[in-house]
Structure 1
């Protein structure tokens, strides 16, 4: 990790790979972490930026079943409490669909899941870099990733305005920035 922070093992965190039957629980978690008033309990809410859905069951199933993709999730007492997507894109791994139950945000669970996802991507695919996109106006979230070794690449990507599968923007200036981290 390079930051000196202790990381729990996948077993200690309760991390496992999602199966198709997990898709509804993953959707419910992601929606609770990012959309609507319930998401305001945590600090990762996008409720002031976007209305509508963040994802749906069909999209999550597609990710779970894709050849170069994995969805990792954490369960505690039978409840899905965290998840993320890893996707191999050539020599890099893309990290996305990261969500932690709002009531557990700030507990350190997200930090552990991110570190485990980095280890999983390196071990499973042999990739040497993790990449992600973050909405550019999410300064607090970007700073959180930067504290974990991610750096801005200077690259930006357009937000998919007009495609309600990704939400209904509440402002006209949304775009994604690309963050990356070497996985040595």
Structure 2
């Protein structure tokens, strides 16, 4: 079995659920027999713990430091043993990966959008939907700076939709600049 783990991971994470069943309902013990490299920078970061009716291979941060340059792969020898000593073992390979920052889906870093007939724009109406994606599937968070900021616009933190806060019938500024940023809360915002 091969699992991947981001070097930026900061939360306890279940890497695998281990279903180990015995004959005649006998009790089983699943354990982490060994970790290679033994002296790796995060050799103590992996544990097999009971979780509900199964066992879970967990990554425990703050026990060590993941270092993809030094230890890009950990080989974990996991053992399933019954009460009379019969056991089976297998290797689970944990491959470290880096987490990529999100990217905007438009063709470049700037989008020049003209909104015609702003006098007809009502409060809550979407002016422009900023689109970004994340190769790792992380949740995205948007924010923006507005110049000049007249309090008429906002961006949805989770959907990137720039909306009118107020009815724009009285808007008389000829051009407003929206500087949009997105982050996955793992990497710096872009």
User: Does TM, scored on the shorter chain, surpass 0.5?
Assistant: no
Q: What TM-score does the superposition give when structure 2 sets the normalisation length?
A: 0.22
Kindly indicate whether structure 1 or structure 2 has the higher relative contact order, using CA contacts under 8 Å at least 6 residues apart.
Answer: 1
Structure richer in strand, relative to its length:
2
Q: What TM-score does the superposition give when structure 1 sets the normalisation length?
A: 0.22
Q: Rg larger in 1 or in 2?
A: 2
